[in-house]
Amino acid sequence: MDNIDFIKIFNNVCRMFYLQRCGCRLSEDMAGGVSPPPRPTAAARIYGTAQYADVGGGWHDAGDYGRYIVPASKAVADLLLANKAAPSIFSDNLNISGPSNSMPGILEEIKYELIWMKKMQREDGGVYHKVTCAKFPGFVMPQYETDELIISPVSTAASGDFAAAMAMAYRIYASLDHAFAQDCLMAAKRAWNFLETTPCIPFTNPDGIITGEYGDDNDSDERYWAACALFAATGDKTYHRYIKSNINPAWAADLGWADVGAYGNAVYLSISNDVADATVKSAIAMDLFRAADSLVEKSRDNDYGVFVDDFIWGSNMVVLNNAMLLLMANDIQPKSEYTVCARRHLDYILGNNPMGICYVTGCSDLSAQHPHHRPSVAVGRAMSGMLVGGPDQHLHDACAQKHLGSVSPARCYIDDAESYSTNEVAIYWNSPLVYVMARLLAAPGSAD
């Protein structure tokens, strides 16, 4: 790994979010020649009604052009946490967003997503789950996906994630853009008020919609994360009482899109000692250490120094979530084992894996070349800085089933644009990579 230009990779990984912008003509300089015209502006129809709403903007979620609140909230949280932990790494020379005199480019980029997320909130505080067409488009540029946009129904998971992300944003933007931060906080409170009077509304695709589902039938962790973020933002004891009644040790390592309890824990640990409950903080920290120590121990048995017990769709996210967990534990109780293990997880992503491939596009000749990403396929070359999903032992697509049926779980990967379950990209896969790289690059003695 000594010959890798970590800073260049990091810049490209950060820039991916700008390149995923929806409804915005991208700068030729910043887009590296891949700057398609935006999709023609059009309001989206609210499913099951004749009503329309403006939900333009935000980031395309993955290799298609859908936009989804649940994974968007994880991506926003990862980036906010990364910027808070390693602000010096996010200098404006990263060229990751438009020019700004008021805040770093990464925060300008996150703001672009947050503005879209606010458009997805209903007047009663509930948050629509996603906006997509009825079905996935072909491998075309975004301006050629011209089917009707449809806003899918509200879910409580989306509403909880939204409340958490908005409250986290308030704490970051309060000193940079007061009016915007206040609006984020008000949106978070409206979502919480909706949750207080609304039992769980699971999400499944409504009839006729066959785009990504991001279904979740248990919203207890989303509510917990929202309560932690709102307590951190306001100090209101109402949220604190909820936290104390709902803390769950089983959530200690949950940094996914469906299981988000560890984000609540991370936020609570960031609250000053004169506001937080010492007993609660201690319990959360002990659960974090147990999860991190277990991960270090299990990683010792792996030839590549990582631990994945199930190569799910998006297993590379799991690898990076593990590294995030280790770095969070190291913040509270520094241990060389934590940082060494986290670096090995990053090394795995960048090429030290059974496939011998760098799972980030555009790094080298050994990088993934054919991601399931419509703009890349349409122009005939992979956009740089995108993390592909990696091995999926459950072979969720026909391409993987055809070519990978007899290989070991860690090798269930194919660099083919047709394999959406192993070679697609996603904002919430890039976001933990940003966090991990930012933290390790900011550490003393890091590669430069």
Q: Which of 113, 177, 397, 424 is catalytic?
A: 424
- Contact, 277 vs 300, CB < 8 A? no
- Contact, 345 vs 320, CB < 8 A? yes
- Contact, 160 vs 68, CB < 8 A? no
Q: 44: Cβ–Cβ under 8 A, 6 or more apart, which residues? A: 52, 53, 54, 55, 131, 148, 149, 150, 151
Q: Which of 113, 177, 415, 416 is catalytic?
A: 415
How far apart (Å, rounded) are the C-alpha atoms in residues 237 and 351? 47
- Contact, 180 vs 117, CB < 8 A? no
Q: Which of 64, 113, 397, 416 is catalytic?
A: 64
Q: Which of 372, 373, 392, 416 is catalytic?
A: 372
- Phi, psi torsion values for 331, nearest 5 degrees: -65, -35
Note if 415 is an active site residue: yes
Token digits of residue 432 = 């933990």
Q: Helix (H, G, I), strand (E, B), or coil: what is residue 191?
A: helix
Angle at 172 between CA 169 and CA 174, to 5 degrees: 95
How far apart (Å, rounded) are the C-alpha atoms in residues 86 and 83? 5
| Nearest Cα residue to 295 out of 276, 256, 323 | 323
- Please tell me the number of Cα atoms within 13 Å of 434 on its side-chain side: 34
Note if 109 is an active site residue: no
Note if 424 is an active site residue: yes
DSSP-derived letter for residue 425 is B
How far apart (Å, rounded) are the C-alpha atoms in residues 373 and 4? 24
- Phi, psi torsion values for 128, nearest 5 degrees: -65, 145
Note if 372 is an active site residue: yes
- Contact, 55 vs 409, CB < 8 A? no
- The residues that are catalytic are 64, 372, 415, 424
